[in-house]
Amino acid sequence: MVENSSSRWWEFYAVRYAMGTVFGAVVFYFLCSANPGWRALLFDNSGVPIADMSIFHLVPIRLDKMQMTLLITYGLVYCYIASAPILVFHATRFLLDYRLEKREWLWWFLRYLLVPVTGAGGIWWSTNRLLWAILGLIFAFILWGQYWLGANALLKRRQLYAFYEKLSKRREQAHGGILDSYRHLREHGNSFFIVLLEVVLGLVLFGVGRYQIDEKLSDDSTFMLYLGILFLWIVPSVGVWFIATSFEREFSEAALQVVGHGEEDSAKEPAK
């Protein structure tokens, strides 16, 4: 008996999170080294003062076994949080249309890029820093795309159910390992996508730490900034629960309709 790769779930999880965990640990080490509010999470109070460090002159600090274990744990948690947008994009993939006509490109721009471009322009105008404006554009695009797609998925639950129903039937008819092919391609893509999201989120969190030092913000104000960024980042993935629940409702209603039609057909049959 040949074991289906979909039942070997560890293959997909290992590919998806192994590199993300290691890279996440590196990003988290960097954040703890460069941001004053993060230092106590991994290091003690000794070592190089935060004020003496910059993004280009971080002094490496040796870690003992306990700190290494803690860092790997942080890396896994950070990896999982950073990958939250992938869950939203995966749940709403039925809305993605890659075959846009020329007249639809303007609507596509207004839908997905107008808000991020406006936000990036505001950052550039207020800070006069192109790098932060580009980072703001990427961060806002990821956030806005999640919120827009998540809201539309809830409004188009019948299309969602129709997509998965058609996909399920098509998978039952598939032969020759084509399912394994695109699943493995997607999981390897997920792995690199997670690394990209870790970089984007890490740079945003690093920017908050630098802003705290430059503007001499209080710890309370800085904590609220961190909390607000993480809240905005993960709220759309929480909305996936509602998408799944609406999907479940459509499935339940479709099953009841099938049962109802079956009872009607039985009632119409002549008695023998």
HEC readout, the chain: CCCCHHHCHHHHHHHHHHHHHHHHHHHHHHHHHHCCCCHHHCCCCCCCCHHHCCCCCCCCCCCCHHHHHHHHHHHHHHHHHHCHHHHHHHHCHHHCCCCCCHHHHHHHHHHHCHHHHHHHHHHHHHHCCHHHHHHHHHHHHHHHHHHHHHHHHHHCHHHHHHHHHHHHHHHHHCCCCHHHHHHHHHHHHHHHHHHHHHHHHHHHHHHHHHHHHHHCCCHHHHHHHHHHHHHHHHHHHHHHHHHHHHHHHHHHHHHHHHHHHHHHHHHHCCCC
Say which residues have a Cβ less than 8 Å from residue 145's Cβ, sequence separation at least 6: 85, 89, 112
- Long-range residue pairs from 129-138, CB within 8 A, at least 24 positions apart, any chain: 132/207, 135/200, 135/203, 135/204, 135/207, 138/200
What does the pLDDT read at residue 4?
A: 53
| Cα separation, 236 vs 250, whole angstroms | 21
What does the pLDDT read at residue 9?
A: 52
| Cα separation, 164 vs 176, whole angstroms | 21
Q: Is the pLDDT assigned to residue 232 strictly greater than 90?
A: yes
What does the pLDDT read at residue 265?
A: 52
AA letter at 194: I
Q: Is the pLDDT assigned to residue 51 strictly greater than 80?
A: no
% of the chain surpassing 70 pLDDT: 76
Most confident of 101-105, 149-153, 156-160, 214-218: 149-153
95-139: pLDDT as tens digits: 876 666 666 666 777 777 888 888 888 888 877 788 888 888 999
What does the pLDDT read at residue 52?
A: 45
What does the pLDDT read at residue 48?
A: 46
Could you tell me which residue, 117 or 42, shows the higher pLDDT?
A: 117
The closest of 239, 259, 240 to 251, measured between CA atoms, is 259
Per-residue pLDDT band for 2 (boundaries 50, 70, 90) equals very low
φ/ψ bin of 129: left (φ > 0), alpha (ψ from -120 to 50), beta (otherwise)? beta
181-213: pLDDT as tens digits: 777 788 888 889 999 999 999 999 988 887 777
Per-residue pLDDT band for 268 (boundaries 50, 70, 90) equals low
- Segments making up each domain of the chain, as ranges: 7-98+157-266
User: How far is C-alpha 114 from the chain's CA centre?
Assistant: 21
Residue carrying structure tokens 């107008």:
114
What does the pLDDT read at residue 3?
A: 47
Q: Is the pLDDT assigned to residue 271 strictly greater than 70?
A: no
% of the chain surpassing 90 pLDDT: 23
The closest of 219, 224, 225 to 36, measured between CA atoms, is 219
What does the pLDDT read at residue 202?
A: 92
